[in-house]
């Protein structure tokens, strides 16, 4: 049996039954909708059931250490993003000129002597100047003395411009030079942290709202990852000074640009993965990797898409779509097995008493999804669920909705692969290059115009075209009907925030630039591949003994936006990536 094991999976407890409101003696209420889904989930529960290659697979251990999973973002120009410097950019200081006659030498000298934080002022007599000339003086002060502010006043019958240091010593936004881009772009290198958690920690240190930061996409938690982040009007020096305070993350490669990042502003990710304790002959590895390079893998949404908690995120998404607002709140605040004691206490207080204020008070971390929701419930006395859900970040609420779309897509794709095979059929949708999808015709197939790698299926929504193949349409209808939905359920919604337009996704995808190697090693605690931070700090390269107890497969490949490396490995190793399956694995690690 092919297996894949994570170090943390061997330490975490299995999901346990919990007491729900109205359940006697701590037993589970059999009528509860919530309890039905608080069980260990397998891949089949989220529609992941098929493989497309025929090789047998082999055993390997992924993420024995988080250093075995390295992710580099690929920017919109196709460059693999690397952390290469911690230095701040050297900005050109504009030369102050008086040749225009806007500011005299004497006035410039006086302005230059004004220090940040002082209460001194400089007055410039502008009684005889018109509005345009006064405006030019204000502009000259802003451009050449970014720490000063100016305003026009009446003093003793004369009109003067008064310049003085900014009143707010922390007001770096109002001091922003007009020649500098409004957004600081920087590379975030992190280890064993979620992207959102990392940004929340940075924002907390500098007392900014995390919503001021933007990025192209989230990266894996249990990994070493590198990506671009942008923030509005933050000085590079301010961020660079945090590097000695931040744990498990580093920022660098600072640059100023005129625009922020948008979600999706990347071409994908470059993965460097280490599979330890591989026990397959080299010829089997060569064959398996070659199949992955030429055939690819089913482009499933991986288990990460559906959350790590006991309550799958797609169930929350379904409750949002069907406008079961109270059910959504119950699911998000449901006590669960994988939390700390204090966190569990807060969730249990809410479950048993519906006292949002008391539950919020004991919650150890307030800046989390549960904390935001409890704060919203506090503000509405626990009655207005729609308003309370609005306290959760919009991206998070959308994540629940997208999770349900992904669940439906996985299920339809599995049936498409299983029952219609790996060749295009009439009625499929295909997407040549980046054009809009169109229906596959007999002529397309006869002329060999379309391949399986161009076939797409829609995520359900109000703006997509569904395949014309009758069986595919039937499968969408059947799967949605099981959840009480139809193809038109996404057209309107009482709360517009939760309407879904839908999109398209290739059913099979190919990794690009695949490279691999077989690496001998003895100590499983030592990394086998250097990270960006290792290279930046000139740490020695990992040793490769000629004779070793173990061997690891190191594999590198690039995937487009939204594709999951774990699904590529699933096809390579022929293994189950669900959390429950990993914990039940009988593989022994490095005995």
Instruction: Dig out the tokens for 82 from the structure.
Output: 């690397």
pLDDT > 90? residue 459: yes
Q: Are the C-beta atoms of 331 and 315 separated by less than 8 Å? A: yes
Range in 240-244, 254-258, 342-346, 531-535 the model is least confident about: 342-346
Q: How far apart are CA 570 and CA 443, in angstroms?
A: 35
Assign 569 a pLDDT band (cuts: 50, 70, 90): very high
How high is the pLDDT of residue 167?
Answer: 62
pLDDT at 170 over 50: no
Q: 336 CB contacts (<8 Å, ≥6 apart)?
A: 15, 18, 38, 309, 310, 311, 344, 347
- pLDDT of res. 215: 95
CB burial readout 328-338, b (16+ within 10 A) else e: bbbbbbbbbbe
Q: How far is CA 405 from the centre of its chain?
A: 17
* 53-62, 180-189, 468-477, 578-587: segment of lowest average pLDDT: 578-587
**What's the mean pLDDT when you consider all of the chain?**
84
CB 425 within 8 A of CB 440: yes
The single residue of 220, 265, 277, 532 carrying the catalytic annotation is 220
Pairing of strands 224-232, 69-74: parallel
pLDDT greater than 80 at residue 8: no
Average pLDDT over residues 388-409: 92
Q: What is the DSSP string of 268-327?
A: EEEEEEEEES--S-HHHHHHHHHHHHHH-EE-PPPGGGG-SSSS-HHHHHHHHHTT-HHH
Is the predicted pLDDT of residue 3 greater than 50, yes or no?
A: no
Mean pLDDT, range 511-520, rounded to an integer: 95
Select the more confidently predicted residue: 125 or 477. Answer: 477
Q: What mean pLDDT comes out for the span 242-271?
A: 94
> Could you read off the pLDDT of 276-333 as tens digits, one per residue?
999 889 999 999 999 999 999 999 999 989 986 678 899 999 999 999 999 999 999 9
Separation between Cα atoms, residue 586 and residue 5, nearest integer Å: 9
pTM for this entry = 0.79
Q: Has 483 been annotated as catalytic?
A: no
Length of the chain: 591
pLDDT of residue 367: 76
Task: Give the phi and the psi of residue 204 in degrees, each rounded to 5.
Answer: -65, -40
Q: Which tokens go with 556?
A: 């590198």
pLDDT of residue 22 exceeding 70: no
- Measured CA to CA, the distance from residue 146 to residue 273 in angstroms comes to 47
Query: Among 43-47, 100-104, 412-416, 487-491, which range has the highest average pLDDT?
Result: 412-416
**Which range has the worst mean pLDDT, 92-106, 237-251, 290-304?**
92-106
Higher local confidence (pLDDT), 311 or 259: 259
- Is residue 320 classed as helix, strand or coil in its secondary structure? helix
State residue 39 phi and psi, 5-degree precision: -140, 155
- How many alpha carbons lie under 13 Å from residue 13 in its C-beta half-sphere? 8
Please, which pLDDT band fits residue 156 given cuts at 50, 70 and 90? confident
pLDDT of 108-143, one tens digit each?
888 888 877 777 888 888 888 888 888 888 888 877
Task: Please tell me the predicted confidence (pLDDT) of residue 494.
Answer: 56
> What's the pLDDT at 580?
65
pLDDT band at 467 (very low <50, low <70, confident <90, very high): very high
Which two tokens mark 570? Answer: 């699933």
Residue 339: its pLDDT value, please?
A: 59
Q: Does 463 have pLDDT greater than 70?
A: yes
């Amino acid at each position: 049996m092919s297996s894949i094991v994570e170090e943390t999976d061997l330490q975490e407890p299995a999901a346990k039954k919990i007491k729900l409101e109205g359940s006697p003696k701590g037993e589970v209420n059999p009528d509860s909708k919530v309890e039905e889904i608080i069980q260990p989930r397998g891949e089949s529960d989220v529609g992941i059931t098929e493989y497309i290659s025929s090789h047998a697979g082999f055993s390997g251990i992924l993420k024995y250490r988080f250093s075995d999973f390295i992710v580099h973002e690929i920017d919109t120009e196709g460059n693999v993003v690397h952390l290469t410097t911690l230095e701040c950019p050297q900005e050109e200081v504009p030369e102050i000129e008086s040749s225009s006659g806007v500011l005299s030498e004497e006035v410039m000298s006086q302005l230059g002597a004004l220090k940040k934080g002082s209460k001194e002022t400089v007055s410039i007599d502008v009684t005889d100047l018109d509005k345009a000339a006064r405006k030019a003086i204000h502009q000259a002060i802003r451009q050449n003395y970014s720490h000063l502010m100016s305003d026009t006043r009446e003093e003793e019958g004369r009109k003067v411009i008064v310049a003085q240091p900014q009143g707010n010593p922390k007001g770096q936004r109002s001091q922003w030079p007009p020649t500098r881009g409004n957004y600081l772009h920087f590379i975030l290198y992190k280890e064993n942290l979620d992207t959102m958690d990392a940004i929340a920690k940075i924002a907390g240190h500098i007392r900014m709202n995390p919503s001021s930061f933007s990025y192209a996409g989230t990266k894996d938690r249990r990994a070493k990852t590198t990506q671009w982040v942008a923030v509005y009007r933050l000085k590079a020096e301010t961020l660079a000074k945090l590097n000695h305070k931040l744990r498990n993350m580093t920022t660098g490669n600072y640059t100023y640009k005129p625009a922020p990042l948008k979600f999706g502003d990347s071409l994908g990710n470059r993965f460097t993965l280490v599979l330890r304790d591989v026990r397959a002959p080299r010829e089997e590895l060569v064959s398996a990797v070659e199949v992955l390079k030429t055939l690819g893998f089913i482009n499933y949404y991986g288990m990460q898409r559906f959350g790590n908690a006991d309550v799958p995120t797609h169930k929350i998404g379904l409750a949002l779509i069907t406008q079961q607002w109270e059910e959504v709140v119950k699911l998000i605040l449901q006590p669960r097995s994988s939390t700390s004691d204090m966190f569990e206490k807060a969730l249990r207080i809410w479950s048993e008493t519906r006292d949002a204020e008391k539950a919020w008070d004991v919650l150890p971390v307030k800046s989390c999804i549960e904390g935001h929701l409890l704060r919203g419930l506090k503000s509405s006395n626990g009655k207005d669920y729609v308003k309370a859900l609005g306290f959760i970040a919009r991206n998070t609420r959308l994540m629940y909705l997208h999770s349900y779309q992904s669940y439906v897509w996985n299920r339809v794709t599995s049936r498409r692969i299983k029952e219609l095979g790996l060749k295009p059929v009439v009625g499929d949708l295909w997407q040549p290059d980046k054009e809009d999808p169109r229906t596959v015709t007999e002529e397309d197939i006869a002329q060999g115009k379309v391949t399986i790698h161009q076939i797409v299926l829609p995520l359900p929504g109000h703006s997509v075209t569904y395949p014309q193949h009758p069986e595919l349409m039937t499968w969408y209808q059947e799967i949605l009907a099981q959840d009480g939905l139809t193809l038109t359920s996404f057209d309107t919604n009482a709360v517009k925030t939760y309407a879904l337009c839908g999109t398209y996704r290739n059913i099979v995808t190919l990794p690009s630039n695949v490279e691999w190697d077989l690496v001998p090693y003895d100590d499983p605690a030592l990394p086998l591949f250097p990270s960006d931070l290792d290279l930046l700090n000139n740490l020695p390269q990992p040793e490769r003994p000629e004779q070793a107890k173990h061997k690891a497969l190191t594999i590198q490949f690039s995937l487009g936006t939204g594709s999951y490396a774990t699904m590529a490995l699933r096809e390579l190793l022929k293994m189950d990536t669900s959390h429950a399956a990993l914990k039940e694995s009988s593989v022994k690690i490095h005995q």
